[in-house]
């Protein structure tokens, strides 16, 4: 899919297997479908700085960690000065290899008995050129940390947090503005990630 939205199904990798999860963590204490939907919409992402403390996330952070494979992702420019606010930007690796987002997952059972597996993507403060687009970015893991990240036997909070401490996390990443067609809930297709010309972008000064 070229345009995955919050609450859509995404692929996650856990325990050496690929599974499907709904994007946005459903709080384990949700008592109804409405409560679940409300909690999910506010838990699309989890901040790396506080994921180990937040009630919605802390249990999953200790034992239910996963990776989300992606060729790239969209971000909407904030008021940081590089592009006009809300300009959609596509971010991917320069070599077009897959990205590995860090995530946490858990399952919730609805009152009707339906089991829903949901996931949140962990984010961190943006650095380098990405900080000119938005203040946050996903936490990406290099391959040599994947096994430890997905290992539920590693449950020491500080050890887990250290896995997310990556030098130069923006290395090998590039970005370009794309069409506002990505804002449409029905928009999809490879044309969504095609670069567009905006003229000379604004500078920070």
For the chain, what is the mean pLDDT? 93
Q: How far apart are CA 52 and CA 36, in angstroms?
A: 21
CA torsion 120→75→135→200, rounded to 10°?
A: 170
Confidence of residue 204 (pLDDT cuts 50, 70, 90): very low
From residue 171, alpha-carbon distances to 47, 76, 89 in Å are: 20, 20, 17
**pLDDT at position 127:** 93
Q: How far apart are CA 89 and CA 183, in angstroms?
A: 11
**pLDDT at position 79:** 76
**pLDDT at position 22:** 98
What is the distance, to the nearest Å, from the Cα of residue 1 to the centroid of all Cα atoms in its chain?
A: 15
Architecture of domain 9-72+97-168: Alpha-Beta Complex (3.90)
What are the pLDDT digits (tens) for 116-171? 999 999 999 999 999 989 999 999 999 999 999 999 999 999 999 999 999 899 88
Residue 62: name the closest of 70, 77, 51, 72 by CA. Answer: 51
Q: How far apart are CA 27 and CA 37, in angstroms?
A: 9
As given in the structure block, the two tokens for residue 75 are 């971000």
pTM of the model as a whole: 0.92
H helices of 85-196, in order, are: 146-150, 157-163
């Amino acid at each position: 899919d070229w345009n995955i939205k919050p609450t859509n199904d995404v692929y996650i990798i856990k325990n050496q297997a690929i599974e499907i999860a709904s994007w946005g963590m459903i709080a384990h204490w949700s008592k109804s479908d409405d409560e679940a939907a409300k909690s999910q919409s506010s838990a699309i992402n989890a901040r790396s700085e506080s994921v180990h403390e937040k009630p919605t996330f802390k249990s999953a952070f200790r034992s239910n960690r996963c990776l989300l494979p992606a060729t790239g992702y969209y971000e909407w420019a904030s008021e940081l000065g590089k592009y006009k606010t809300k300009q959609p930007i596509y971010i991917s690796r320069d070599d077009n290899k897959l990205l590995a987002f860090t995530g946490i997952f858990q399952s919730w059972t609805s009152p009707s008995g339906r089991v829903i597996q949901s996931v949140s993507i962990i984010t961190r403060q943006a650095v380098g050129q990405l900080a000119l687009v938005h203040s946050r970015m996903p936490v990406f893991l290099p391959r040599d940390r994947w096994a430890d990240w997905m290992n539920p036997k590693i449950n020491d909070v500080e050890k887990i947090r250290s896995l997310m401490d990556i030098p130069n996390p923006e290395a090998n990443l590039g970005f370009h503005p794309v069409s506002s067609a990505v804002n449409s809930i029905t928009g999809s297709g490879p044309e969504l990630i095609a670069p567009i010309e905006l003229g000379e972008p604004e500078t920070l000064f």
